[in-house]
A = this chain, B = another copy of it.
Protein backbone atom coordinates (compact mmCIF):
# COMPACT_ATOMS: atom_id res chain seq x y z
CA UNK A 1 0.00 0.00 0.00
CA UNK A 2 1.20 3.47 -0.76
CA UNK A 3 -0.44 6.81 -0.06
CA UNK A 4 -1.38 8.88 -3.12
CA UNK A 5 1.28 11.35 -4.31
CA UNK A 6 -0.97 14.39 -3.81
CA UNK A 7 -0.70 13.97 -0.03
CA UNK A 8 3.08 13.95 -0.23
CA UNK A 9 3.08 16.98 -2.51
CA UNK A 10 0.83 18.90 -0.15
CA UNK A 11 2.98 17.99 2.83
CA UNK A 12 6.13 19.06 1.00
CA UNK A 13 4.55 22.41 0.18
CA UNK A 14 3.56 22.93 3.81
CA UNK A 15 7.03 21.91 4.95
CA UNK A 16 8.71 24.48 2.69
CA UNK A 17 6.39 27.25 3.78
CA UNK A 18 7.02 26.35 7.43
CA UNK A 19 10.76 26.11 6.82
CA UNK A 20 10.75 29.70 5.61
CA UNK A 21 9.06 30.94 8.76
CA UNK A 22 10.63 29.04 11.66
CA UNK A 23 9.35 30.05 15.10
CA UNK A 24 10.89 29.07 18.44
CA UNK A 25 8.96 27.55 21.36
CA UNK A 26 5.84 29.46 22.46
CA UNK A 27 6.31 31.83 19.50
CA UNK A 28 4.69 29.58 16.85
CA UNK A 29 1.89 31.98 15.90
CA UNK A 30 2.31 31.80 12.14
CA UNK A 31 2.72 28.05 12.40
CA UNK A 32 -0.32 27.65 14.63
CA UNK A 33 -2.34 29.83 12.28
CA UNK A 34 -1.37 27.63 9.33
CA UNK A 35 -2.19 24.46 11.27
CA UNK A 36 -5.53 25.76 12.50
CA UNK A 37 -6.61 27.06 9.09
CA UNK A 38 -5.56 23.90 7.30
CA UNK A 39 -7.20 21.54 9.79
CA UNK A 40 -10.41 23.57 9.58
CA UNK A 41 -10.27 23.35 5.79
CA UNK A 42 -10.11 19.57 6.17
CA UNK A 43 -13.17 19.65 8.38
CA UNK A 44 -11.52 19.06 11.71
CA UNK A 45 -12.81 20.68 14.86
CA UNK A 46 -9.84 22.67 16.12
CA UNK A 47 -8.84 23.86 19.59
CA UNK A 48 -5.88 26.22 19.85
CA UNK A 49 -4.02 28.50 22.22
CA UNK A 50 -5.53 28.49 25.69
CA UNK A 51 -8.14 25.98 24.50
CA UNK A 52 -5.36 23.53 23.60
CA UNK A 53 -2.85 23.90 26.41
CA UNK A 54 -2.89 24.35 30.18
CA UNK A 55 -0.96 27.58 30.86
CA UNK A 56 0.05 26.58 34.40
CA UNK A 57 2.09 23.73 32.91
CA UNK A 58 3.86 25.92 30.36
CA UNK A 59 7.63 26.05 30.86
CA UNK A 60 10.31 28.33 29.46
CA UNK A 61 8.02 30.88 27.82
CA UNK A 62 9.63 34.28 27.37
CA UNK A 63 7.09 37.11 27.38
CA UNK A 64 9.30 39.49 25.41
CA UNK A 65 10.02 36.92 22.72
CA UNK A 66 6.32 36.10 22.51
CA UNK A 67 5.46 39.78 22.03
CA UNK A 68 8.02 40.10 19.26
CA UNK A 69 6.72 36.94 17.61
CA UNK A 70 3.16 38.24 17.69
CA UNK A 71 4.22 41.49 16.09
CA UNK A 72 6.09 39.56 13.41
CA UNK A 73 3.15 37.24 12.80
CA UNK A 74 0.76 40.14 12.39
CA UNK A 75 3.16 41.78 9.98
CA UNK A 76 3.24 38.47 8.08
CA UNK A 77 -0.51 38.55 7.74
CA UNK A 78 -1.85 36.57 10.69
CA UNK A 79 -5.11 38.29 11.65
CA UNK A 80 -5.19 40.16 14.97
CA UNK A 81 -8.46 38.39 15.80
CA UNK A 82 -6.72 35.04 15.58
CA UNK A 83 -3.95 36.23 17.85
CA UNK A 84 -6.56 37.45 20.31
CA UNK A 85 -8.25 34.05 20.28
CA UNK A 86 -4.98 32.31 21.18
CA UNK A 87 -4.79 34.19 24.47
CA UNK A 88 -1.11 34.61 23.68
CA UNK A 89 -0.41 30.88 23.64
CA UNK A 90 0.44 28.68 20.68
CA UNK A 91 -0.35 25.05 19.87
CA UNK A 92 -3.36 23.39 18.31
CA UNK A 93 -5.40 20.18 18.55
CA UNK A 94 -7.44 18.80 15.65
CA UNK A 95 -10.42 16.59 16.45
CA UNK A 96 -12.31 14.36 14.04
CA UNK A 97 -15.08 11.94 14.94
CA UNK A 98 -16.06 9.39 12.31
CA UNK A 99 -19.37 9.04 14.05
CA UNK A 100 -18.73 5.34 14.33
CA UNK A 101 -17.93 3.41 17.45
CA UNK A 102 -14.20 2.71 17.52
CA UNK A 103 -10.92 3.47 19.18
CA UNK A 104 -9.66 6.94 19.95
CA UNK A 105 -6.28 7.40 18.28
CA UNK A 106 -3.99 10.27 19.12
CA UNK A 107 -0.99 11.35 17.04
CA UNK A 108 1.42 14.01 18.19
CA UNK A 109 3.58 16.39 16.09
CA UNK A 110 5.89 19.13 17.38
CA UNK A 111 5.98 22.47 15.61
CA UNK A 112 8.76 24.70 16.96
CA UNK A 113 12.18 25.52 15.50
CA UNK A 114 15.74 25.67 16.82
CA UNK A 115 17.73 28.84 17.61
CA UNK A 116 20.28 28.31 14.88
CA UNK A 117 21.20 30.62 12.02
CA UNK A 118 20.61 28.78 8.75
CA UNK A 119 23.59 28.11 6.52
CA UNK A 120 24.21 30.60 3.70
CA UNK A 121 26.02 27.96 1.67
CA UNK A 122 24.46 28.17 -1.82
CA UNK A 123 24.59 24.36 -2.00
CA UNK A 124 22.41 24.09 1.09
CA UNK A 125 19.07 22.47 0.26
CA UNK A 126 16.84 25.34 1.42
CA UNK A 127 18.97 27.87 -0.44
CA UNK A 128 18.73 25.76 -3.57
CA UNK A 129 14.99 25.49 -3.14
CA UNK A 130 14.46 29.13 -2.22
CA UNK A 131 12.78 28.45 1.11
CA UNK A 132 15.55 29.25 3.55
CA UNK A 133 14.65 30.81 6.89
CA UNK A 134 13.57 34.44 6.73
CA UNK A 135 13.80 34.84 10.46
CA UNK A 136 17.26 35.69 11.78
CA UNK A 137 18.71 33.24 14.28
CA UNK A 138 15.88 30.76 13.78
CA UNK A 139 15.89 27.59 11.69
CA UNK A 140 13.98 24.34 11.39
CA UNK A 141 17.17 22.36 11.90
CA UNK A 142 15.54 19.48 13.77
CA UNK A 143 12.85 18.71 11.21
CA UNK A 144 9.78 19.87 13.13
CA UNK A 145 8.69 21.55 9.90
CA UNK A 146 8.50 18.06 8.41
CA UNK A 147 6.64 16.81 11.49
CA UNK A 148 4.05 19.55 11.23
CA UNK A 149 3.69 19.00 7.51
CA UNK A 150 3.32 15.25 8.01
CA UNK A 151 0.69 15.94 10.65
CA UNK A 152 -1.25 18.08 8.21
CA UNK A 153 -0.78 15.39 5.55
CA UNK A 154 -2.21 12.61 7.69
CA UNK A 155 -5.04 14.96 8.73
CA UNK A 156 -5.91 15.43 5.09
CA UNK A 157 -5.73 11.69 4.46
CA UNK A 158 -7.94 10.91 7.47
CA UNK A 159 -10.45 13.53 6.36
CA UNK A 160 -10.50 12.13 2.86
CA UNK A 161 -10.83 8.54 4.08
CA UNK A 162 -13.11 8.99 7.05
CA UNK A 163 -15.85 6.92 5.53
CA UNK A 164 -13.57 3.91 5.68
CA UNK A 165 -12.66 4.60 9.28
CA UNK A 166 -14.27 4.27 12.68
CA UNK A 167 -13.66 5.85 16.08
CA UNK A 168 -12.13 9.26 16.75
CA UNK A 169 -8.86 11.09 16.04
CA UNK A 170 -6.93 13.60 18.12
CA UNK A 171 -4.04 15.29 16.31
CA UNK A 172 -1.79 17.16 18.74
CA UNK A 173 0.36 19.98 17.32
CA UNK A 174 2.69 20.72 20.21
CA UNK A 175 4.62 23.94 20.81
CA UNK A 176 8.00 24.14 22.55
CA UNK A 177 9.49 20.67 22.16
CA UNK A 178 12.99 22.16 21.96
CA UNK A 179 13.97 22.63 25.57
CA UNK A 180 11.24 20.07 26.42
CA UNK A 181 8.87 22.85 27.39
CA UNK A 182 5.52 22.09 25.80
CA UNK A 183 4.25 18.51 26.15
CA UNK A 184 3.30 18.91 29.78
CA UNK A 185 0.88 21.71 28.90
CA UNK A 186 -0.98 19.41 26.48
CA UNK A 187 -0.85 16.56 28.97
CA UNK A 188 -2.32 18.68 31.76
CA UNK A 189 -5.13 19.74 29.45
CA UNK A 190 -6.15 16.09 29.47
CA UNK A 191 -5.91 15.28 25.75
CA UNK A 192 -4.48 11.80 26.27
CA UNK A 193 -6.48 10.82 29.35
CA UNK A 194 -9.11 9.00 27.33
CA UNK A 195 -7.41 7.69 24.22
CA UNK A 196 -6.86 4.09 23.16
CA UNK A 197 -3.71 4.71 21.18
CA UNK A 198 -1.02 7.37 21.14
CA UNK A 199 1.77 7.36 18.59
CA UNK A 200 4.66 9.78 18.31
CA UNK A 201 7.40 9.96 15.72
CA UNK A 202 10.52 11.82 14.62
CA UNK A 203 12.28 12.25 11.32
CA UNK A 204 15.99 11.57 10.81
CA UNK A 205 18.21 10.43 13.66
CA UNK A 206 20.22 7.36 12.68
CA UNK A 207 17.65 6.25 10.09
CA UNK A 208 18.55 6.92 6.47
CA UNK A 209 16.17 7.86 3.68
CA UNK A 210 13.55 5.18 3.20
CA UNK A 211 14.35 3.47 6.47
CA UNK A 212 12.30 3.40 9.63
CA UNK A 213 12.78 2.05 13.12
CA UNK A 214 11.00 1.67 16.42
CA UNK A 215 12.09 2.76 19.90
CA UNK A 216 10.62 0.90 22.85
CA UNK A 217 12.57 2.69 25.52
CA UNK A 218 15.33 5.23 25.67
CA UNK A 219 15.71 8.97 25.95
CA UNK A 220 17.19 10.45 29.07
CA UNK A 221 14.95 12.12 31.62
CA UNK A 222 15.92 15.77 31.68
CA UNK A 223 15.40 19.09 33.42
CA UNK A 224 16.29 22.46 31.93
CA UNK A 225 17.02 24.96 34.67
CA UNK A 226 17.61 28.72 34.48
CA UNK A 227 19.47 30.31 37.36
CA UNK A 228 19.82 34.00 38.15
CA UNK A 229 22.35 35.26 40.67
CA UNK A 230 21.97 38.77 42.07
CA UNK A 231 24.81 40.23 44.09
CA UNK A 232 25.67 43.71 45.27
CA UNK A 233 27.81 46.24 43.43
CA UNK A 234 30.94 47.93 44.67
CA UNK A 235 34.00 49.49 43.14
CA UNK A 236 36.48 46.65 42.84
CA UNK A 237 39.32 49.00 43.73
CA UNK A 238 37.93 51.17 46.48
CA UNK A 239 35.55 48.97 48.46
CA UNK A 240 35.75 45.32 47.43
CA UNK A 241 34.40 44.21 50.81
CA UNK A 242 31.05 45.82 50.07
CA UNK A 243 30.49 43.87 46.87
CA UNK A 244 28.81 40.51 46.54
CA UNK A 245 30.00 39.06 43.25
CA UNK A 246 27.27 37.28 41.33
CA UNK A 247 30.01 36.11 38.96
CA UNK A 248 32.08 34.41 41.63
CA UNK A 249 28.93 32.92 43.15
CA UNK A 250 27.93 31.54 39.76
CA UNK A 251 31.45 30.23 39.12
CA UNK A 252 31.41 28.39 42.43
CA UNK A 253 27.95 27.02 41.68
CA UNK A 254 29.08 25.83 38.24
CA UNK A 255 32.03 23.96 39.71
CA UNK A 256 29.94 22.36 42.43
CA UNK A 257 27.29 21.29 39.94
CA UNK A 258 29.90 19.76 37.67
CA UNK A 259 31.11 17.87 40.77
CA UNK A 260 27.79 16.25 41.74
CA UNK A 261 28.67 12.61 42.50
CA UNK A 262 27.92 10.04 39.84
CA UNK A 263 24.93 7.73 40.26
CA UNK A 264 25.39 3.99 40.54
CA UNK A 265 22.06 3.12 38.92
CA UNK A 266 22.81 4.50 35.47
CA UNK A 267 23.88 7.43 33.38
CA UNK A 268 23.57 10.94 34.77
CA UNK A 269 24.45 14.20 33.08
CA UNK A 270 25.06 17.79 34.10
CA UNK A 271 25.65 20.60 31.67
CA UNK A 272 26.33 24.17 32.68
CA UNK A 273 25.75 25.43 29.18
CA UNK A 274 25.95 29.19 29.38
CA UNK A 275 26.97 31.81 31.90
CA UNK A 276 26.79 35.54 31.44
CA UNK A 277 27.95 37.64 34.33
CA UNK A 278 29.16 41.07 35.20
CA UNK A 279 28.75 44.65 34.10
CA UNK A 280 32.30 45.94 33.82
CA UNK A 281 35.89 45.11 34.56
CA UNK A 282 36.17 47.13 37.74
CA UNK A 283 32.73 46.72 39.25
CA UNK A 284 31.80 43.81 41.49
CA UNK A 285 29.40 41.86 39.26
CA UNK A 286 25.77 42.22 40.29
CA UNK A 287 24.09 39.96 37.76
CA UNK A 288 24.79 36.47 36.47
CA UNK A 289 22.58 34.23 34.39
CA UNK A 290 23.19 30.54 33.90
CA UNK A 291 21.55 27.84 31.80
CA UNK A 292 21.81 24.35 33.19
CA UNK A 293 20.58 20.97 32.06
CA UNK A 294 20.46 17.70 33.93
CA UNK A 295 19.73 14.26 32.54
CA UNK A 296 19.30 10.80 33.92
CA UNK A 297 18.86 7.28 32.60
CA UNK A 298 15.78 7.15 34.82
CA UNK A 299 13.39 9.71 36.20
CA UNK A 300 14.93 9.12 39.64
CA UNK A 301 18.49 9.72 38.49
CA UNK A 302 17.49 12.95 36.80
CA UNK A 303 15.63 13.95 39.94
CA UNK A 304 18.79 13.27 41.95
CA UNK A 305 20.78 15.57 39.65
CA UNK A 306 18.07 18.23 39.68
CA UNK A 307 17.76 18.14 43.47
CA UNK A 308 21.50 18.60 43.77
CA UNK A 309 21.40 21.63 41.46
CA UNK A 310 18.65 23.18 43.55
CA UNK A 311 20.45 22.43 46.80
CA UNK A 312 23.72 23.85 45.55
CA UNK A 313 21.92 27.06 44.59
CA UNK A 314 20.36 27.27 48.02
CA UNK A 315 23.76 26.89 49.63
CA UNK A 316 25.45 29.39 47.34
CA UNK A 317 22.94 31.98 48.45
CA UNK A 318 24.50 31.64 51.88
CA UNK A 319 28.16 31.12 51.01
CA UNK A 320 28.24 34.21 48.79
CA UNK A 321 25.44 36.28 50.32
CA UNK A 322 23.73 36.65 46.96
CA UNK A 323 20.19 36.04 45.83
CA UNK A 324 19.75 32.95 43.66
CA UNK A 325 16.58 32.34 41.68
CA UNK A 326 16.10 28.93 40.14
CA UNK A 327 13.41 28.11 37.59
CA UNK A 328 12.79 24.82 35.79
CA UNK A 329 12.05 25.89 32.22
CA UNK A 330 11.80 22.49 30.60
CA UNK A 331 11.39 18.84 31.49
CA UNK A 332 11.32 15.48 29.78
CA UNK A 333 11.11 11.94 31.02
CA UNK A 334 12.22 8.56 29.67
CA UNK A 335 10.44 6.81 26.88
CA UNK A 336 7.75 4.31 27.83
CA UNK A 337 5.78 2.27 25.30
CA UNK A 338 3.44 -0.72 25.55
CA UNK A 339 4.06 -4.15 24.12
CA UNK A 340 0.80 -4.09 22.20
CA UNK A 341 1.41 -0.57 20.91
CA UNK A 342 4.82 -1.61 19.65
CA UNK A 343 3.55 -4.92 18.26
CA UNK A 344 1.01 -3.15 16.06
CA UNK A 345 3.56 -0.56 14.99
CA UNK A 346 6.09 -3.26 14.08
CA UNK A 347 3.57 -5.05 11.94
CA UNK A 348 2.66 -1.85 10.12
CA UNK A 349 6.26 -0.82 9.56
CA UNK A 350 7.32 -4.23 8.35
CA UNK A 351 4.45 -4.07 5.91
CA UNK A 352 5.22 -0.56 4.70
CA UNK A 353 9.01 -0.64 4.73
CA UNK A 354 9.90 -4.25 4.15
CA UNK A 355 13.60 -4.75 4.73
CA UNK A 356 14.02 -1.03 5.29
CA UNK A 357 12.39 -1.58 8.68
CA UNK A 358 15.63 -1.66 10.62
CA UNK A 359 16.86 -1.94 14.19
CA UNK A 360 18.77 1.06 15.47
CA UNK A 361 20.13 2.02 18.89
CA UNK A 362 17.74 3.62 21.34
CA UNK A 363 17.73 7.40 21.13
CA UNK A 364 20.12 9.02 23.63
CA UNK A 365 18.78 12.56 23.62
CA UNK A 366 15.58 13.80 25.27
CA UNK A 367 12.01 14.28 24.03
CA UNK A 368 9.00 15.51 25.90
CA UNK A 369 6.35 13.49 24.08
CA UNK A 370 7.48 11.04 26.75
CA UNK A 371 5.22 12.88 29.21
CA UNK A 372 2.21 12.37 26.94
CA UNK A 373 3.05 8.69 26.45
CA UNK A 374 3.49 8.08 30.16
CA UNK A 375 0.15 9.70 30.95
CA UNK A 376 -1.60 7.82 28.16
CA UNK A 377 -0.20 4.51 29.41
CA UNK A 378 -1.24 5.34 32.98
CA UNK A 379 -4.74 5.95 31.59
CA UNK A 380 -4.77 2.59 29.86
CA UNK A 381 -3.74 3.41 26.30
CA UNK A 382 -1.28 1.56 24.09
CA UNK A 383 1.62 3.60 22.79
CA UNK A 384 4.42 3.41 20.30
CA UNK A 385 7.25 5.53 18.96
CA UNK A 386 8.93 5.38 15.58
CA UNK A 387 11.44 7.22 13.46
CA UNK A 388 11.38 7.60 9.69
CA UNK A 389 14.67 8.36 8.05
CA UNK A 390 16.09 11.08 5.86
CA UNK A 391 19.61 11.83 4.68
CA UNK A 392 20.92 14.73 6.72
CA UNK A 393 24.10 16.29 8.05
CA UNK A 394 23.22 16.35 11.73
CA UNK A 395 20.33 17.72 13.77
CA UNK A 396 20.54 21.22 15.23
CA UNK A 397 23.16 22.22 12.71
CA UNK A 398 23.08 25.14 10.32
CA UNK A 399 23.24 22.73 7.41
CA UNK A 400 20.57 20.27 8.53
CA UNK A 401 18.64 19.15 5.46
CA UNK A 402 15.85 16.79 4.59
CA UNK A 403 17.76 15.89 1.51
CA UNK A 404 15.01 14.15 -0.32
CA UNK A 405 11.60 15.27 0.72
CA UNK A 406 10.33 11.87 -0.36
CA UNK A 407 11.07 11.04 3.23
CA UNK A 408 7.85 12.80 4.19
CA UNK A 409 6.07 10.21 2.10
CA UNK A 410 7.63 7.46 4.17
CA UNK A 411 6.28 8.98 7.35
CA UNK A 412 2.87 9.50 5.80
CA UNK A 413 2.69 5.93 4.54
CA UNK A 414 3.46 4.56 8.00
CA UNK A 415 0.91 6.82 9.66
CA UNK A 416 -1.79 6.11 7.08
CA UNK A 417 -1.31 2.36 7.33
CA UNK A 418 -1.27 2.62 11.13
CA UNK A 419 -4.54 4.55 11.14
CA UNK A 420 -6.05 1.99 8.82
CA UNK A 421 -4.87 -0.76 11.10
CA UNK A 422 -6.24 0.85 14.24
CA UNK A 423 -9.33 2.59 12.98
CA UNK A 424 -10.19 0.81 9.74
CA UNK A 425 -13.80 -0.35 9.55
Interface set of A (CB-CB < 8 Å, partner B): 115, 179, 220, 222, 224, 235-241, 243, 245, 247-248, 250-252, 254-256, 258-259, 261-265, 267-285, 288, 291-293, 295, 304, 311-312, 314-321, 364-366
- Can you name 7 A-B pairs with beta carbons within 8 Å? A236-B269, A237-B295, A247-B274, A273-B282, A274-B281, A274-B285, A281-B291
Residue of B nearest to A225 (CB): B281
The minimal Cβ–Cβ distance linking A396 to chain B, given in whole angstroms, is 9
Q: Is the CB of A241 within 8 A of B255?
A: no
Task: Tell me the bound Cα distance from A243 to B164 in angstroms.
Answer: 53
Given contacts A240-B262, A316-B319, contact A248 B220 (CB under 8 A): no
Residue of B nearest to A284 (CB): B271
Q: Is the CB of B241 within 8 A of A248?
A: no
Given contacts A236-B273, A318-B311, contact A278 B251 (CB under 8 A): no
Known: A238-B365, A261-B284, A315-B315. 8 other contacts (CB 8 A): A236-B273, A237-B293, A240-B269, A250-B251, A255-B255, A273-B281, A273-B282, A278-B291
- On chain B, the residues within 8 Å of A254 by CB distance are 247-248, 251
- On chain B, the residues within 8 Å of A364 by CB distance are 237-238, 264
Task: Tell me the bound Cα distance from A220 to B252 in angstroms.
Answer: 28
Q: Is the CB of B236 within 8 A of A293?
A: yes
Q: Is the CB of A277 within 8 A of B275?
A: yes
Residue of B nearest to A238 (CB): B364
Q: Is the CB of A248 within 8 A of B255?
A: yes
Q: Is the CB of B304 within 8 A of A315?
A: no
Residue of B nearest to A261 (CB): B240
Q: Is the CB of B274 within 8 A of A280?
A: yes
Q: Is the CB of B259 within 8 A of A272?
A: no
- On chain B, the residues within 8 Å of A277 by CB distance are 274-276
- On chain B, the residues within 8 Å of A237 by CB distance are 220, 222, 269, 271, 293, 295, 364-366
- On chain B, the residues within 8 Å of A321 by CB distance are 311
Residue of B nearest to A240 (CB): B261
Task: Tell me the bound Cα distance from A151 to B112 in angstroms.
Answer: 60
Residue of B nearest to A280 (CB): B273
Q: Is the CB of A245 within 8 A of B261?
A: yes
Residue of B nearest to A320 (CB): B315
Task: Tell me the bound Cα distance from A279 to B396 in angstroms.
Answer: 13
Residue of B nearest to A268 (CB): B262
Q: Is the CB of A256 within 8 A of B247?
A: no
Q: Is the CB of B251 within 8 A of A264?
A: no
Residue of B nearest to A262 (CB): B240
Residue of B nearest to A224 (CB): B281
Q: Is the CB of B240 within 8 A of A263?
A: yes
Task: Tell me the bound Cα distance from A266 to B411 in angstroms.
Answer: 33
Residue of B nearest to A307 (CB): B321
Q: Is the CB of B274 within 8 A of A275?
A: no
Given contacts A241-B261, A255-B248, contact A271 B236 (CB under 8 A): yes
Task: Tell me the bound Cα distance from A115 to B265 in angstroms.
Answer: 29
